[in-house]
């Protein structure tokens, strides 16, 4: 029996729902990293050590991607003035999982993208998401971030707040 997923990882839901847009950047963190989740009760020193490792892994994943490094070199300042992040949790097993519980890991990885220069900051005016989804099983578990630039005022799913 396979674990149901909300989308095929090769065609992220946000990209499919939003229609044709510029190609997103897919940033895969190494499989097997210790992932933080909201249900853990770690002491602050252990938590900080894991946050630092996740943040560094995301930064390193950016520096190891030639297309991102070329885009960063061509950009004057941060690569994305605004962007949407789709976060995909590839769990280590077929057990039921709630991807939103891994928000601390997604937040640490998003901070790593800021450290790498993709965004000036990850506040609400520059970054939408991370929207967390469940992907296929990967040995050891893995986080994948799908980053797509947005035009000013654009929402990836067409949401318009009430005036």
Supply the CATH number for residue 61's domain. Answer: 3.30.1330.70
Answer whether residue 4 is part of any domain: no
Nearest-angstrom CA–CA distance, 91 and 105:
13
Answer whether residue 8 is part of any domain: no
The mean per-residue pLDDT over the stretch 74-102 comes to 91
Q: How many domains does the chain have?
A: 1
Mean of the per-residue pLDDT values of the chain = 85
Extended strands (E) in the chain = 25-28, 83-90, 127-134, 142-149
Does residue 124 sit in helix, strand or coil?
coil
Answer whether residue 156 is part of any domain: no
Nearest-angstrom CA–CA distance, 43 and 122:
25
Q: What is the pLDDT of residue 15?
A: 45
Answer whether residue 122 is part of any domain: yes
34-80: pLDDT as tens digits: 999 998 899 999 999 999 999 999 999 999 989 888 888 888 888 89
Domain boundaries, position 140: 23-149
- Please give the model's pTM, rounded to 2 decimal places: 0.81
143-153: pLDDT as tens digits: 999 999 988 87
């Amino acid at each position: 029996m396979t674990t149901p997923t909300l989308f095929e990882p090769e065609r992220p839901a946000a990209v499919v729902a939003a229609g044709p847009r510029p190609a997103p950047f897919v940033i895969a963190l190494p499989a097997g990293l210790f992932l933080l989740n909201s249900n853990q009760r770690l002491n602050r020193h252990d938590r900080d050590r894991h946050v630092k490792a996740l943040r560094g892994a995301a930064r390193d994943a950016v520096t190891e991607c030639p297309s991102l490094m070329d885009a960063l070199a061509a950009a004057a300042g941060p690569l994305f003035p605004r962007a949407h992040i789709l976060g995909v949790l590839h769990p280590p097993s077929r057990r039921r999982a709630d991807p939103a519980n891994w928000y601390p890991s997604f937040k640490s990885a998003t901070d790593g993208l800021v450290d790498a220069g993709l965004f000036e900051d990850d506040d609400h005016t520059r970054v939408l998401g991370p929207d967390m989804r469940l992907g296929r099983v990967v040995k050891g578990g893995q986080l994948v971030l799908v980053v797509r630039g947005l035009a000013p005022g654009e929402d990836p799913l067409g949401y318009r707040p009430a005036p």
